[in-house]
Amino acid sequence: MSEGGAAEVKLLKPRKPLPDVGEIVVGTVQEVHDYGAYLILDEYGGVRAFLPWSEIASRAVRNIHAVLKPRQKVVVKVIRVYRNRGQVDVSLKRVMDSEKKRKMMFYKRYLKAATLVELIADKLGKSVDEAYREVLWRLEDTYGDPMKGLEAAVLQGREALEKAGVPEEWIEPLLEAAKTHVRVKTVKITFYLTLRSMAGDGVERVRKVLEAAKSEIESFKDSKVVARIYAVGAPKYRVELQGYNYKTLEKALERMVEAARKTASKLGVEFSFERED
């Protein structure tokens, strides 16, 4: 018994004709039978894969049609490769939940990047093959996945694309598209400074301590770190650091706290630091 026909799938262009045994791939279910299911592999240009009934789940599956449906996206592991036939066998049960999550996230990001670059290729009169060869694969080689390369372009400008060896004719259209369609996730760190001074000009001394802390952010300007300081209520101040990388924010935090500590000691301001959980 079979269900459904070919699903309409956006296929990615592969760098090799077939996946390797043990590789985790994304597939789209085409046909569901009592003995298993047939998929096409989205990242391998539609290579046909067979998912045996015994490889669907660790527990007994009474009704395969309750588990798999045509057009369903699944993350599977390659268990056999038939190079002479251009086909593979895959397993659903041998993929851990964490692997499924990571793979699907990578696939969705790659798909978004590919769609964007192919649109630009069309405007430039380039082929899909040229889009992959001149942009997508170069970004993947340099940044791990093409979307990371486009995110780097949003943050760093043309340098990020030049670093990957993207040809000049692509750079301005890619920058324009990336700034419009690519959203780079920001991260945030919050900490508190408690500053007390009994001196007559105590308010001015505390202000200088806060200024010393904030001035350290200048050295992180290229990383686009932003610092905001709020008075929670004297003598406590809330400091929020926002940027695109936790490691960079941690370095900025260390520099700010150290600058504040040194200035407070010099001006006789009582100082304490507290990190928000």
Domain boundaries, the chain: 23-93, 98-181, 187-275
Own/partner pairs for 5-10, CB < 8 Å, 24+ apart? 5/30, 5/31, 5/70, 6/30, 6/40, 7/40, 7/70, 7/71, 9/40, 9/42, 9/46, 10/42, 10/111, 10/114, 10/115
Which class does domain 23-93 fall in? mainly beta
The CATH code of domain 98-181 reads 1.10.150.190
Cα-to-chain-centroid distance, residue 94? 25
> Per-residue confidence at 212, pLDDT binned at 50, 70, 90?
very high
- Tokens for 22? 């043990």
- Where is 48: in which H helix or E strand? strand 47-52
Q: Give the model's pLDDT for residue 8.
A: 61
The two three-digit tokens of residue 88, written as one number:
């593979």
Asked if the 187-275 domain carries CATH number 3.80.10.10, the reply is: no
Euclidean distance between CA atoms 162 and 21, whole angstroms: 35
pLDDT of residue 245: 87
Looking at every residue in the chain, the average pLDDT score rounds to 93
**Strand order, beta sheet including 270-275:** 226-233, 236-243, 187-196, 270-275
pLDDT digits (tens, 9 = 90+) for 105-118: 999 999 999 999 99
- 53-106 confidence digits (pLDDT tens): 999 987 877 889 889 999 999 999 999 999 999 999 999 999 999 999 999 999
**Range name among 44-58, 194-208, 219-233 with the lowest pLDDT average:** 219-233
pTM: 0.75
Half-sphere exposure of 47 (CA within 13 A, CB side): 26
Q: Can you tell me the distance from the alpha carbon of 8 to that of 17, in angstroms, rounded to the nearest whole number?
A: 21
7 confidence band (pLDDT: 50, 70, 90): very low
